[in-house]
Structure 1
Amino acid sequence: MERMQIKTHFDRCTGCGLCQLACSERLLGGYNPHRALLQIAHQCENLYHFPTVCNQCENAYCAKVCPVQAIARDAATGAMVVDPDKCIACNLCHRYCPLHIVGVDPELKKSVKCDLCGGAPACVAACPTGALEIVHRTVPGPVKEES
């Protein structure tokens, strides 16, 4: 089984924030990098920039701790996706995500996380330096027993 993921290359990131603008525009219809579904940590007097995106974990804690099963894997993209109709905004997903890249949006009052834009991530398309890259990884599927 093949799954899509965004790989980051901090050594190519200039910290421009275009990825965050593209993400927030898709999510909200406007530009607000503080509400983007990816983060950029700036360190050493803005010399280093570390983009962080959802890893679309195989054993996703965000989905496991959700008391209403509002987070599930999309079969087409392999992304862990939040169902806003089920989400109760308890924020356990944020608490247990090792990257803290998922959580309740203050205005939407629901958890939000990267859904890989349905297969065409806007952040990757907006990145001028190739610091974000789409990769496809093979994940072992269920073992089928022979009869």
Structure 2
Amino acid sequence: MRAVIYSNFDLCSGCNICRMICSEKKTGGTNPRLALLNLEKHGLVYRPVVCAQCRNAFCLKVCPVEAVYRQEDSGAVLIDRAKCTGCGLCAEACPVCAIVMDKQAGIARKCDLCGGDPACVRYCPTGALELVILGGDKDE
């Protein structure tokens, strides 16, 4: 089993509520630049970009201190803040650019699915974000 946040760009209005909620939950402040997801604008269309929780996660493979790991019950790829050295290899390896380097804390940060109840999904006013549970190889 693996949980992922599916983004439907057809429904995204670009309001940034997902990013403000994420930053509030993770940092205590409502600054979209501190969010663990991004919004890309392509012409008139916005596309939410969030960690894909990759089945063959490159970020996990390149971490020299094994700070990046997969949580067994949710399948989420997480970063152990205590182990992370801030080398940035995981961020460089991420195919969707979903890992951010927190220069102040000296560590890498990424979406952790809010422990299974992602705030961005819960508060998205248009329903552009959805938590999807993938079961096996056919769902990948």
TM-score (norm 1): 0.90
Amino acid at match of 1:112: R
SS at match of 2:30: coil
Q: State the Cα deviation string for residues 84-143 of structure 1 (Å, max 9, x = none).
A: 110000000111111111131122221101110000001001100010001111135xxx
Q: What's the counterpart of residue 91 of structure 1?
A: 88
**Number of the residue aligned with 1:128:** 125
> Counterpart of 2:45?
48
Instruction: Pick the structure with greater CA Rg.
Output: 1
Question: Within 5 Å, which residues of 2 pair with 1:1-147?
Answer: 2-44=1-43, 47-139=44-136
Uncovered stretches (5+) of structure 1, i.e. residues with no partner = 141-147
Give the secondary structure class of the aligned counterpart of 1:10.
coil
Q: 1:55, 1:139 → 2: CA distance?
A: 15
- Dislocated runs of 4+, deviation >6 Å: none
2-side partners of 1:122 and 1:35: how far apart? 14
Aligned residues, how many?
137
By how many angstroms is 1:32 displaced? Answer: 1.1
- Separation in 2, partners of 1:50, 1:103: 18
2:3 and 2:133 mapped to 1: Cα distance?
5
Q: Which runs of 5+ in 2 are unaligned?
A: none
Seq. identity, %: 47
Residues 36 and 100 in structure 2, CA contact (< 8 A), matched pair in contact too: no
Amino acid at match of 1:97: C
1:143 aligns to what? Answer: none
